[in-house]
Structure 1
Amino acid sequence: MASKFFWYELMTNDRAAAEAFYRDVVGWTLSPFGPPEDPYMIVEAGGRGVGGIMSIPKEARDQGMKPCWVGYIHASDIDAAVEKVRAGGGKVYREPEMIPTIGRFAVCADPQGAMFNLMQPEGMDMPPVPMGTVGAIDWHELHSSDGKAGFDFYAGQFGWSATDALDMGPMGTYQMFAMEPVSGPTECGVTVGGMMTDAQAPNPYWTFYFHVDDIDAAQGRITANGGSVLFGPQEVPGGAWIINALDPQGAMFSIAGPRKG
């Protein structure tokens, strides 16, 4: 597998409440993994795991960590990947560590401070769940203090490539990207996300868009379950609609889907 986002994880201060919220809002199937007193809850879309929900670890909670989503980027050699992150101006907050039977992971950030994790999994790689499947990840979006520098970092680290770009006027350029390299000017990868300069964001961050069945119905489920809508519904190029929201514990997340009404 190329160096792509392939796993998405919510760390929260109320795991049971978060499970109930996302099960209803997004439509995920949940399966427990690990000790029954505090299991890691795997979220499934299209018949296989795409991410997980877990309690914020005590050491992170003691340091003030708030509920948030984080994405894992695949690494075929995590030790080399960590050193490359450092050499590229990023930070490594947790050195590579083994999760028995799962693989080795590390906690990192790009030079502007957006968090991401690296993972060198054990076993065979699973094919991605097709975009447009309920619960799958349709889009990856970086809100950075310097969108161009952010793109240059990820392109240099992981071979991601620029696809289309959208002029947002005073807000600058929305640079779309593919999580795969291209070998020439006429070749184009599959666009899976965008990067932008977001001067209003308190800190740079990644947000991930989960596919829902109907954007208006999902909006109703967000508010009915104690979440709050920050932006949208807004139509985007291609005909999909998006919403940026907070779950009841304060973690930001995003959804995308059709408008059926």
Structure 2
Amino acid sequence: MTNREGTPIWYELKTQDPNAAQSFYESVMDWTFEKMPGGQEMDYRVASAKKETVAGVMRTPAPAQGMPNMWFMYIGVEDVDASAVKVKSLGGGINIEPTDIPGVGRFAFCTDPQGAHFYLMRGTSDEDSAAFTPMEPGHFCWNELVTSDQKAALDFYSKLFGWENGGAMPMGPTGNYTFIMHDGAMIGGVMDAPEKSTQPFWNFAIQVTDIDATKEAVEKAGGTVRMGPNELPDDSGWLIQIDDPQGAKIMFVGERKG
């Protein structure tokens, strides 16, 4: 893939029940799924919004059975091995060393110094990824880091990917919400975990056309709406935060039609 280094290029849900996850996201997002070769143990499914691939759903691997069902982000880099070395030099960790996936690319599974997980990826395709395409329904539109130390986290990702501080918005008792800029565009934000016991993690938003219809679809399909709809700043839409039926956190952003 030729996306600029530091761009989110793929999203992946690890879940104990891929069948149930597929059923939920099909009904809420109108995604279509294609199951990849690899047998029951691998069980990898690729989700598409219309004709563009946006995400993968896979059965949680045996070594990670203790991990909760959750979404992860792959960030594009030119050289996975060099970037993995840099992750370690900046105080992060490597959970899976750089590894090739034949016909797909090379990846590494990493942890930032505060404990949030993410992937490094160099894809073999000549086409840019469209998984992160803000304002496009069915595509991911926001990347939010919930962490224990905003300043240290931003410093880490800035040195690793060249991400920049895009300014902050006061959030009252929970502190500032700091925006992340990459290549002149806002790609996400960083916030302090509301409870100190919260394990730092990345949370993601998917664009939808109608936030109220999506909320209704989430509840009908067995998901739990934890917050919203809440209006976002600068007339950028409305947001709901949910847990899918298997407990994975995800957000949706869209307009109100009513």
TM-score class, shorter-chain normalisation, is over 0.9
CA RMSD, 1 decimal: 1.5
Task: After TM superposition, give the deviation of residue 52 of structure 1 in Å.
Answer: 0.5
Inter-partner Cα distance in structure 2 for 1:74 and 1:4: 5
Task: After TM superposition, give the deviation of residue 36 of structure 1 in Å.
Answer: 5.5
The equivalent position to 2:189 in structure 1, one of 171, 183, 194, is 194
Task: After TM superposition, give the deviation of residue 46 of structure 1 in Å.
Answer: 4.8
Q: Structure 2 matches for 1:36-185, cutoff 5 A?
A: 37=40, 39-61=43-65, 64-128=66-130, 130-180=133-183
Q: After superposition, what is the alpha-carbon deviation per residue over 1:125-179, rounded to whole angstroms, capped at 9, x for unaligned? A: 4153642111111111011111121111111110011223211122221111122
Inter-partner Cα distance in structure 2 for 1:137 and 1:44: 12
Q: Structure 1 residues 24-33 or 10-19, which shifts more?
A: 24-33
Structure 2 partner of 1:185: none
- Contact (CA 8 Å) 1:176, 1:193: kept in 2 or not? yes
Inter-partner Cα distance in structure 2 for 1:17 and 1:32: 14
- Contact (CA 8 Å) 2:31, 2:50: kept in 1 or not? no
Inter-partner Cα distance in structure 2 for 1:220 and 1:158: 38
Inter-partner Cα distance in structure 1 for 2:113 and 2:205: 23
Inter-partner Cα distance in structure 2 for 1:139 and 1:193: 5
Question: How many aligned positions are there?
Answer: 251
- Contact (CA 8 Å) 1:78, 1:119: kept in 2 or not? yes
Inter-partner Cα distance in structure 2 for 1:35 and 1:243: 35
Inter-partner Cα distance in structure 2 for 1:8 and 1:255: 14
Structure 1 partner of 2:26: 23
> Runs in 1 of length 4+ with deviation above 2 angstroms?
35-39, 127-130
Inter-partner Cα distance in structure 1 for 2:85 and 2:26: 38
Inter-partner Cα distance in structure 1 for 2:68 and 2:49: 26
Does 2:251 correspond to 1:251? no
Secondary structure at the aligned position of 2:194 is classed as coil
Task: After TM superposition, give the deviation of residue 32 of structure 1 in Å.
Answer: 2.0
Inter-partner Cα distance in structure 2 for 1:94 and 1:68: 17
Inter-partner Cα distance in structure 2 for 1:78 and 1:59: 22
Q: Mind listing any 5+ residue stretches in structure 2 that lack a counterpart?
A: none
- Contact (CA 8 Å) 2:36, 2:46: kept in 1 or not? yes
The equivalent position to 2:232 in structure 1, one of 226, 236, 247, is 236
Structure 1 partner of 2:257: 260
Equivalent AA in structure 2 for residue 93 of structure 1: N
Inter-partner Cα distance in structure 2 for 1:223 and 1:169: 30
Q: Structure 1 residues 198-207 or 240-249, which shifts more?
A: 198-207
The equivalent position to 2:220 in structure 1, one of 205, 212, 224, is 224
Q: Mind listing any 5+ residue stretches in structure 1 that lack a counterpart?
A: 181-188
Equivalent AA in structure 2 for residue 173 of structure 1: N
Equivalent AA in structure 1 for residue 128 of structure 2: M
Inter-partner Cα distance in structure 1 for 2:158 and 2:49: 28
Give the structure-2-normalised TM-score.
0.93
